[in-house]
Structure 1
Amino acid sequence: MKVIIGSDHAGYKLKGSIKAFLDKHKIDYEDVGPQKYDKNDDYPYYSIKVAEKVAKLKCMGIVIGMSGEGEAIAANKVLGIRAVSYYGGNKKIVKLSREHNDSNIISLGAGFLSSKEANDAVKLWLNTKFSNHPRHVRRLKEISRFERR
């Protein structure tokens, strides 16, 4: 499994924690940036960079910003991306996003998550498989048809 990871300045610190988690679990990843903290960077650049690599390589991605919402919106502009945001609370939504929606990017809200919460969500998300249930496959095909119009 390959994971592409990126953040903006608001997610930079949490990205370091998630990378340590990925290292600990021997999960292959590529950090597309930023490589150093820059309070003036913008989330669309890194979110789209992650999304383009995920779409091209057919792998998984993690984007991190203050809320995770803008990052997910930006990532979802790339054809074939199904980014979901998580910023705390019931982790069942993380599991369902994989089982039902075959999400390929998780967007984390660093302003609302501790390192442990983020790592737990990433672990659950990476370990959950798409159900391949016919109704979910059908719905994803509908989305793909719309994307290609």
Structure 2
Amino acid sequence: MHIAIAADHNGHALKARLTAWLTAHGHTVDDRGSHTEETVDYPPLCADVCRRVTGGRAERGIVLGGSGLGETVACNKIRGIRAGLCHDLWSARISRGNNDSNVLVLAAKVLAPREAEEIVATWLTTPFNGGAHARRLEQIAALERESAER
């Protein structure tokens, strides 16, 4: 799978580890930054990853921050993105299975590296359940369209 990934200064070290892990597991990784531990603003990084996903240049995206909260807000401002902040395997399964999330957000200050790898593995392999969830996603897409028209 082709995955775009980015992190602010808080997630820089975990991003490096996950990039190596993803590559070792056969994925193509597009590292969008940051490439330093110096303080950076996360919204442009989030937008870059999300636009790669919505533009078809990546199948999925992963964004890392300290808490992941701001990153989740920023990602979900991009039309067509369904970003889920996941702290455990259950939330990773729900994020994909029920919400068909296309961007995973991780909290680098909360997760141990091994936990993050397990969450990524679960998120990448969990299929979308469809059914009633598809109907709800269409309702969410309608909210996006309505908001764009105003």
Q: Same fold (TM over 0.5)?
A: yes
- 1:50 aligned onto 2:37: no
Residue 115 of structure 1 and its aligned partner are, at CA, apart by 0.6
- Counterpart CA distance in 1 for 2:55 and 2:72 is 18
- Counterpart CA distance in 1 for 2:10 and 2:16 is 12
- 1:136 aligned onto 2:144: no
- 1:69 aligned onto 2:66: no
Normalised by the length of structure 1, the TM-score is: 0.93
Structure 2: gaps spanning 5 or more residues = none
Q: Aligned with 2:10: secondary structure?
A: helix
TM-superposition CA deviations, 1:30-70 (whole Å, max 9, x none): 011112322x2011111111111111116211000000111
In the TM superposition, what are the counterparts of 1:102-121 in structure 2 within 5 Å?
Answer: 102-121=100-119
Q: Number of matched residues?
A: 145
Residue 141 of structure 1 and its aligned partner are, at CA, apart by 0.5
8 Å Cα contact 2:10-2:37 kept in structure 1 = no
Specify the code of the residue in structure 2 equivalent to 1:97: S
- Identity of paired residues, percent? 38
Spell out structure 1 runs of 4+ moving beyond 2 A: none
Residue 131 of structure 1 and its aligned partner are, at CA, apart by 1.1
Measured on the aligned residues, the alpha-carbon RMSD in Å equals 1.1
**Counterpart position of 1:9:** 9
Normalised by the length of structure 2, the TM-score is: 0.93
